[in-house]
């Protein structure tokens, strides 16, 4: 892929890919590293259909995140200060910040499927493909994650 096209794709999708990797790793810095590596690998790809680029980038970044966690036995927590760094909107309401803290309190196995399904709008089948799990497993993770998220939101107020 040529660098100009990749640069445009980076501007368009880098934030989304970083957030997906962050939801898996719990670390903004690790997520950014995985995102950069995914985009470097995109440069090595031949022409790819426009509709397949974002799912491919998310899948690649998540796979890199998995490898990183295995290699470094990395903690899956993130300081709340880092959560604020992930937002580009300084006008977040208290409710939105509480929801973000509640999401951060969830185990990583629930955060990523919930983020992809609820925030990015992927179907359960698409989410399953992106996280490398079966459809029924993904549906269960989303269902359980929603219940846990609801409890966490109640604790946050």
Range 1-86 has CATH code 1.10.1200: no
For 121, left (φ over 0), alpha (ψ -120 to 50), or beta? left
Model confidence, pTM: 0.60
Q: What are phi and psi of 64, to 5 degrees?
A: -65, -40
CB of 16 closer than 8 Å to CB of 58: yes
Tokens of 105: 């309190």
Q: Find how far residue 59's CA is from the centre of its chain.
A: 10
pLDDT tens digits, the chain, 157 residues: what are they? 888 888 899 999 999 999 989 888 888 888 999 999 999 999 998 888 888 899 999 999 999 988 887 776 544 444 544 544 555 445 567 777 777 778 878 887 888 888 888 888 889 998 888 888 899 999 999 999 999 888 888 876 6
List all residues 6 or more positions away from 157 whose beta carbon is below 8 Å from its beta carbon.
98
Q: What is the CA radius of gyration of the chain?
A: 16
Tokens of 101: 């803290």
Pick the CATH number of 93-157 from 3.30.465.10, 3.40.50.720, 3.30.470.20, 1.10.10.10: 1.10.10.10
Instruction: Give the pLDDT confidence score for residue 76 in this predicted structure.
Output: 46
Ordered by start, the domain boundaries in the chain are 1-86, 93-157
Buried b / exposed e over 122-152, threshold 16 CB at 10 Å, is: bebebbbbbbebeeeebbebbebbeebbeeb
Helices 94-105 and 135-156 pack at an angle, to 10 degrees, of 130
Tokens of 118: 């609820």
User: Which one, of 39, 32, 36, lies nearest residue 3 by Cα?
Assistant: 39
Query: How far separated are the first and last CA of the chain, in Å rounded?
Result: 47
């Amino acid at each position: 892929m040529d660098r100009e096209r990749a640069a445009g794709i980076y501007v368009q999708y880098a934030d989304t890919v970083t957030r997906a990797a962050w939801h898996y790793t719990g670390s903004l810095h690790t997520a950014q590293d995985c995102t950069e590596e995914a985009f470097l690998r995109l440069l090595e790809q031949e022409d790819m259909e426009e509709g397949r680029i974002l799912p491919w980038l998310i899948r690649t970044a998540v796979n890199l995140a998995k490898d990183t966690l295995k290699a470094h036995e990395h903690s899956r927590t993130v300081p709340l200060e880092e959560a604020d760094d992930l937002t580009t909107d300084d006008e977040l309401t208290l409710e939105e910040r509480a929801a973000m803290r509640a999401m951060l309190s969830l185990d990583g196995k629930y955060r990523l499927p919930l983020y992809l399904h609820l925030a990015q709008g992927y179907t359960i089948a698409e989410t399953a493909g992106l996280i490398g799990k079966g459809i029924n497993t993904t549906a269960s993770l989303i269902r359980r994650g929603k219940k846990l998220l609801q409890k966490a939101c109640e604790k946050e107020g």
